[in-house]
Structure 1
């Protein structure tokens, strides 16, 4: 999946890389998905996917106390693309793990990349009723 902006409707949040702040990202995810008229099940899938992606990224962060997670939402007419990034000193999540497979089952597309010391997990969820 390439990093493309689907529209000019972009929301970007930066929170401390601490599990206590993940609820902010989950809430923002749910609010944006509701705005796109996702079903309750699709909204919950997205909330879980964002939470899982953050959990997969946190081990790659060297010192979480001095690090932030950045979550960028690209809002399309019937899809929501999410990119969660953090500076990483460790390896990317293993795409063969159960956690990665759960994440992949919750969204249409998912990919991980490491560029210039920043790990990013990108995912897209499309409304089932979109076509």
Structure 2
């Protein structure tokens, strides 16, 4: 079943990448993240921060992904930044702990970070990085 995604106003482009929930494919996602960030004129430091942030979000989610499922990443490009929502199907819909070192690093790299549970115990981590909004770590 395909979900319809409402694209918020101000979104220039929306890109979805779906791949097996396996860390062997993360290099493809890092490359896509960098390419899209470059399209928005992010600095090299901001691009690297976003690549690492997306990688960290994926690592958190892959640890609880159901075997044989997909990792879905939705990129929304806006005039001032990028919103990235990474999600996987899980057995119990448990959200990643936000009081960990990994979450602190993720927040420092990506700007605004949030998490929620969607349909069928799909866990989502949402990053919103704005151009020039934070210093590189």
- TM-score, normalization: structure 2? 0.86
Q: Does the CA contact (< 8 Å) of 1:13 and 1:72 recur in 2?
A: yes
Q: More helix by proportion, 1 or 2?
A: 1
Alignment partner, residue 29 of structure 1: 33
**How big is the shift at 1:118?**
0.6
The correspondence for 1:77, drawn from 76, 79, 94, is: 79
Alignment partner, residue 93 of structure 1: 96
In structure 2, list runs of 5 or more residues that go unmatched: 1-5
Q: How many residues align?
A: 125
Alignment partner, residue 40 of structure 1: 44
Could you give the per-residue CA deviations for residues 47-74 of structure 1, whole angstroms, max 9, x where no partner exists?
A: 00000000011122132xx110000000
Q: Does the CA contact (< 8 Å) of 1:60 and 1:92 recur in 2?
A: no
In structure 1, list runs of 5 or more residues that go unmatched: none
Alignment partner, residue 105 of structure 2: 102
Could you give the per-residue CA deviations for residues 17-72 of structure 1, whole angstroms, max 9, x where no partner exists?
A: 01010111110000000011100000000000000000011122132xx1100000
Give every structure 1 segment of 4 or more consecutive aligned residues whose post-TM-superposition deviation is greater than 4 Å. none
Alignment partner, residue 119 of structure 1: 123
CA distance in 2, matches of 1:37, 1:20: 28
Aligned residue for 1:75, secondary structure, equals: strand
Over the residues paired in the alignment, what is the CA RMSD in angstroms? 1.5
- TM-score, normalization: structure 1? 0.90
CA distance in 1, matches of 2:105, 2:7: 24
